[in-house]
Amino acid sequence: MLNRTAFSTALRLAQGFPVLAITGPRQSGKTTLARTLFADKPYVSLEDPEERSFADSDPRGFLARFPQGAILDEVQRCPDLFSYLQGVVDKRKRMGEFILTGSQQFGLMSNISQSLAGRVGLLQLLPFSLAELREGGVLPATLDETMLRGCYPRLYDRPVAPGDWFPNYVTTYLERDVRQLLAVRDLSLFQRFLKMCAARSGQLLNLSALAADCGISHVTAREWMTVLEASYVVYLLRPHHQNFGKRLVKMPKLYFLDTGLMAYLLGIRDVNTLTTHASRGALFETLVVSEWVKRQFNAGQVAELYFWRDSAGHEVDLLIPQGNQFMPVEIKSGATFSNDWTAAVRKLAALFGDAALPPGIVYGGDGQYERGGCRVVGWQALAQ
């Protein structure tokens, strides 16, 4: 398997908390990471009906099997187990005793906050980053190939094409999660909703317009969006509200967290189609934003990222907090640098004053250099 940037974070958290919880989308490598780093611990999947029945009917007896702790996979399937787990770790007072994994924030995080508050170190694990792919020697040669394939581990550890894998992923995992959480009856409506979301990645999220386009109510659209966010399918980038005497946009921007899944939902099946597709720029912006989310998650941090846009349409794609300052970043999919790319980030840097770090531009070309007071970074440099 490829080395994960989050290995060191997981080990650090396991030294400081009795429970380590690893959450993230299905098939992002959570179980592999846990079993690799904590190979000495027994592994139990609560997707197994027998194990789940045992944990539900006799939680004390279930936990008594693991005097040295264990890896409990998909633990959100047994919510009553968390209260008993609290008693066990409080009595033993050993760090890194139990490793919990789960692919739905709803069940895992709500039970942690109720029963295990202060006892859990949380690691959110997304699919591979560009840096992990590069270090493992499997980063695709071109930008379009990278965006089309995406970063899910299964697409790199076995000979399977994205066009074969993603249909099964959507059917087996995403739709099952929605059924479990919301009891959706008409899956064709949910499939349309997913595709409409993919077409809006990189855009302001107007739930009313999205609901109308899908033929569902605003309430249903909000519920479904919450599930996609909780399942790490999408990420909502919040606007920054520092007042510069202008009316600022208050709606978040919607981003998928994997460009391969987004491309599949858009009906893009090959590089030739992607090269001229109207959504290519949105796919690149999605790739860059997801990379920064992965950086913060891999470090054990909350993804604290923003964008800035005023009512006149002036916009900077990404604001990255660093202490009390912000680095404005513009994202351009073109492979050739253009001088007018620096205008938006330089304008925002002037508005921020001392709170602004030197601005950056990430683009679809190669190399790293300075232009017009901005650091210009090609897409592959994100992997370094």
Compute the average pLDDT of residues 298-323.
88
Whether residue 253 has pLDDT greater than 60: yes
Q: What Å distances lie between residue 93 and 16, 68, 88, 98, 248, CA to CA?
A: 11, 12, 8, 11, 49
Return d(Cα 348, Cα 356) in angstroms, integer.
8
Return d(Cα 261, Cα 264) in angstroms, integer.
5
Question: Is residue 167 situated within a structural domain?
Answer: yes
Residue 329 φ then ψ, to 5°: -130, 130
pLDDT band of residue 116 (cuts 50, 70, 90) is confident
Q: Residue 88 sits in which domain range?
A: 7-124
Q: Specify the pLDDT at position 107.
A: 64
Question: Is residue 59 situated within a structural domain?
Answer: yes
Whether residue 243 has pLDDT greater than 60: no
Question: Is residue 282 situated within a structural domain?
Answer: yes
Same domain, 323 and 191: yes
Same domain, 37 and 177: no
pTM: 0.93
Whether residue 102 has pLDDT greater than 90: no
Same domain, 319 and 236: yes
Cite the DSSP H helix spans in the chain.
7-16, 30-37, 49-57, 59-64, 81-92, 105-115, 130-135, 143-149, 162-169, 175-182, 187-199, 207-214, 218-230, 259-265, 271-275, 280-298, 342-352
Weakest-pLDDT range from 69-83, 141-155, 254-268: 69-83
Nearest Cα residue to 163 out of 293, 274, 286: 274
Compute the average pLDDT of residues 130-138.
96
Question: Is residue 2 situated within a structural domain?
Answer: no
Averaged confidence pLDDT in the chain:
91
pLDDT band of residue 351 (cuts 50, 70, 90) is confident
Whether residue 186 has pLDDT greater than 80: no
| Other C-beta atoms lying within 10 Å of the C-beta of residue 341 | 19
pLDDT band of residue 103 (cuts 50, 70, 90) is confident
Whether residue 242 has pLDDT greater than 70: no
Q: Specify the pLDDT at position 323.
A: 87
From its phi and psi, is residue 144 left (phi > 0), alpha (psi between -120 and 50) or beta?
alpha
Q: Specify the pLDDT at position 247.
A: 59
Same domain, 224 and 322: yes
Same domain, 114 and 134: no
Nearest Cα residue to 265 out of 233, 223, 218, 219: 233
% pLDDT > 90, the chain: 70
Identity of the amino acid at 128: F
Same domain, 87 and 225: no
Residues forming beta bridges with residue 100, ordered by sequence position = 21, 72
Whether residue 126 has pLDDT greater than 90: yes
Cβ distance 348 to 239 under 8 Å? no
Question: Is residue 78 situated within a structural domain?
Answer: yes
Domain CATH number, residue 99: 3.40.50.300
Same domain, 83 and 218: no
Question: Is residue 115 situated within a structural domain?
Answer: yes
The more confident residue out of 112 and 166 is 166
Same domain, 98 and 137: no
Q: Specify the pLDDT at position 279.
A: 97
Compute the average pLDDT of residues 339-362.
87
Domain boundary among 81, 107, 124: 124
Domain boundary among 124, 144, 178: 124
Compute the average pLDDT of residues 194-201.
97
Domain boundary among 89, 124, 159: 124
Mode of pairing for the β-strands spanning 306-309 and 234-239: parallel
Compute the average pLDDT of residues 342-368.
88
Residues forming beta bridges with residue 234, ordered by sequence position = 256
Same domain, 89 and 203: no
As for how many domains the chain has, the answer is 2
Same domain, 79 and 143: no
Compute the average pLDDT of residues 17-22.
96
Q: Specify the pLDDT at position 34.
A: 97
pLDDT band of residue 352 (cuts 50, 70, 90) is confident
pLDDT band of residue 167 (cuts 50, 70, 90) is very high
Whether residue 245 has pLDDT greater than 60: no
Same domain, 26 and 153: no
Same domain, 113 and 153: no
Question: Is residue 341 situated within a structural domain?
Answer: yes
Whether residue 311 has pLDDT greater than 90: no
pLDDT band of residue 227 (cuts 50, 70, 90) is confident
Q: Specify the pLDDT at position 348.
A: 82
Question: Is residue 214 situated within a structural domain?
Answer: yes
Q: Specify the pLDDT at position 106.
A: 61
